[in-house]
Amino acid sequence: MMREVSPLPASRARLAAVLRAAREVVSIDATARVLDLDRPAAAKVLSRWLKQGWLRRVGHGLYVPVPLDLAGSEQVVEDPWVLVPTLFGQCYIGGWTAAHHWDLTEQLFNETIVFTTRRISAKRATAQGVAFLLHHVGQKRLFGLKSIWRGSMRVSISDPARTMIDVLAMPDTCGGIDHVADCLSEHLKSPTYDGDLLIRYGEQFGNGAVFKRLGFLAETRLHNADLAGACHARLTQGYAQLDPALPSHHLHTAWRLWVPERWRQAAS
């Protein structure tokens, strides 16, 4: 009697072929292409590997391999950044995450900030135990980005100057205006600082609040007259808040900014 051969080695070989082609993140399309299957059949194969514990689902139709020594753990991806391009499409890492990457801050935050061109219904997403904080960004604002390799995945991240423009436009993406000011101070001291580039990015971004906040901080916190003067020359009409998350009852007329009491005292 012929002994029945276990299908396990063949299945493992097929999985290995898919992983070699897909690298960090496995999709239905990649599986279909490698195994020469249609999409429904590829989806069934992935579902079977999921049930066998060889893969873990990280998004709709997206999976990552599970190392044997981590099969019982929550997180199986050593570097969560590798998930970003596949999960969020045309996007980049920014805000406090980019600030930490560029050594503008030593403070660590629990959520990884991602700016994506996709329309988002929820501002938070979780994959592999990693929390992502999502912000929508238009195509015209996809500038000032760097590509870096994380393993075999190329990930986009805002460069230091663009990181500062984003957090000046949205202080909440840097933990508030106090942390923005600290990061800006570090940026001005770093070898990568380029005042002309910072101003050019601010013009391209097209949000008048950026120059109001940047000029105010340059004048009152950083005492950088050149940067403050460049911002004042680009001052727009209307008023903004230094930090929309803080009660601001005092109008700083020179910068057309509503500022909290403690910031008013520091500026006087």
Summarised one tens digit per residue, pLDDT across range 160-177 is: 999 999 999 999 999 999
**Average pLDDT score over residue span 92-116:** 93
Summarised one tens digit per residue, pLDDT across range 9-20 is: 566 677 778 777
The pLDDT assigned to 70 comes to: 38
**Average pLDDT score over residue span 224-234:** 96
Fold assignment, 8-70: Arc Repressor Mutant, subunit A (1.10.10)
Summarised one tens digit per residue, pLDDT across range 64-91 is: 776 544 344 444 456 778 888 888 889 9
Confidence band (pLDDT; 50, 70, 90) for 266?
Answer: low
Summarised one tens digit per residue, pLDDT across range 182-192 is: 999 999 999 98
Rounded to two decimals, what is the model's pTM? 0.75
Q: What is the DSSP string of the chain?
A: -PPPPPSHHHHHHHHHHHHHHHTT-EEHHHHHHHHT--HHHHHHHHHHHHHTTSEEEEETTEEEE--GGGTTSS---S-GGGGHHHHHSSEEE-HHHHHHHTTS-----SEEEEEESS--S-SEEEETTEEEEEEE--GGG--SEEEEEETTEEEEEE-HHHHHHHHHH-GGGGTSHHHHHHHHHHHHHSTT--HHHHHHHHHHHT-HHHHHHHHHHHHHTS--HHHHHHHHTTPPSS-EES-TTS---EEETTTTEEE-HHHHHHH-
pLDDT of 198 > 60? The answer is: yes
Q: Where exactly does CATH 1.10.10.10 map onto the chain? A: 8-70
